[in-house]
């Protein structure tokens, strides 16, 4: 009917609370701060208490370039003291959170009391499926390592469940162990370092407990699992490869957030998909095969927000980022 006109007005949502983790402290902050400011919102940023300095530096830079006072506010402190009041505050209009699933549930509960929208980017236990038609085994081994050992495994999207076709499993694992032995573990400021320490004593102890539980449940620590012999202090853990894993084990089901990969072998494509989707999480996944039709087919049936084909972890800012199931909802990056 021509006498009527309708249009959509896009408006800033208001004050947004941005709660970020310690694993990529500045990057995670910019993923949230930049779109919030670009949309015309004001923001309250609460970085992790384990890694606040770069976010404070970001605040200083914003002040230096003339961002008006009060547009970006940075509050440091512990979750219960600094994060929780942001989530429950009646004048904060939206929460964007990246962190653990347990904390995400707490934030969602607090926000629900005011029917406040949230976007949550939570934990993951992502699969990397590798088929027997891969011609370049070493390239696939490199992606498997990068997918789980990068940033000392402290990556929400780490492909920490490695699924190998039975025809290549033995050869693949031999190469994976060989490569893992050659990773230079050292002070990150040292030339050639490829694996640094984990964030804290608490995280170090947690990872060690995951490894000891896997061993006690009957899994095999094929490589690693200990402090590197040449490093007497610091929270360093060798890249760890765990085999003989059953789907009921803790190491298969729970996010470790450390340089620990667990391995299962499959026979058929349908079995691979079933194992890949055998998780409460749904952040990411990957498939490596020389058959691109198979890759597309597998990518469509893995239940996750992100699927990598013939790689693991490249993150392009033009594409949306986020998961489903217990990995959260909402998207970052891109138009989203």
Q: How far apart are CA 2 and CA 132, in angstroms?
A: 61
Annotation says 121 is catalytic: yes
Element (H, E) at 209: helix 201-216
Given CA atoms 176, 287, 100, 274 in this order, what sign does their dihedral have? Answer: negative
List, as one string, the DSSP characters of 119-134. EEE-----EEEE-TT-
DSSP-derived 3-state class of residue 112: helix
R_g of the chain computed on alpha carbons: 21
121, 178, 269, 293: the catalytic one is: 121
Element (H, E) at 137: helix 137-149
Given CA atoms 172, 178, 180, 183 in this order, what sign does their dihedral have? Answer: negative
- Unique residue bearing structure tokens 């760890």: 240
- Unique residue bearing structure tokens 């236990």: 125
93, with CB counted inside 10 A (0-12, 13-18, 19+), is: middle
Residues marked active site are found at 121
């Amino acid at each position: 009917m021509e006498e009527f006109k309708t249009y959509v007005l896009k408006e800033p949502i208001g004050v947004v609370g941005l709660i970020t983790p310690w694993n990529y402290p500045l990057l995670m902050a910019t993923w949230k701060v930049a779109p919030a400011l670009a949309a015309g919102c004001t923001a309250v940023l609460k970085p992790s208490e384990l890694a606040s300095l770069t976010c404070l530096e970001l605040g200083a830079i914003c002040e230096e370039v003339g961002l008006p006072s009060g547009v970006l506010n940075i509050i440091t402190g512990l979750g219960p003291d600094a994060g929780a009041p942001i989530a429950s505050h009646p004048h904060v209009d939206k929460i964007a959170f990246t962190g653990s699933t347990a904390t995400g549930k707490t934030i969602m509960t607090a926000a629900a009391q005011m029917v406040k929208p949230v976007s949550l980017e939570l934990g993951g236990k992502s699969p990397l499926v590798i088929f027997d038609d891969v011609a370049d085994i070493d390239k696939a081994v490199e992606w498997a390592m990068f997918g789980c050992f990068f940033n000392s495994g402290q990556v929400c999207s780490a492909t920490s469940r490695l699924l190998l076709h039975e025809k290549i499993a033995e050869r693949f694992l031999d190469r994976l162990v060989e490569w893992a032995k050659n990773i230079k573990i050292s002070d990150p400021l040292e030339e050639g370092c490829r694996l640094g320490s984990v964030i804290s004593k608490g995280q170090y102890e947690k990872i060690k407990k995951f490894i000891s539980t896997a061993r006690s449940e009957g899994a095999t620590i094929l490589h690693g699992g200990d402090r590197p012999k040449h490093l007497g202090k610091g929270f360093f853990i060798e890249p760890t490869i765990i085999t003989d894993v059953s789907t009921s084990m803790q190491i298969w089901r729970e996010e470790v957030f450390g340089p620990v990969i667990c391995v299962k072998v499959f026979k058929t494509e349908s079995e691979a998909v079933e194992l890949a989707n055998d998780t409460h999480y749904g952040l990411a996944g990957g498939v490596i095969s020389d058959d691109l039709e198979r890759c597309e087919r597998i990518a469509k049936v893995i239940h996750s927000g992100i699927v990598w084909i013939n790689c693991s972890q490249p993150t392009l800012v033009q594409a949306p980022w986020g998961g489903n199931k217990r990995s959260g909802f909402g998207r970052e990056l891109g138009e989203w």
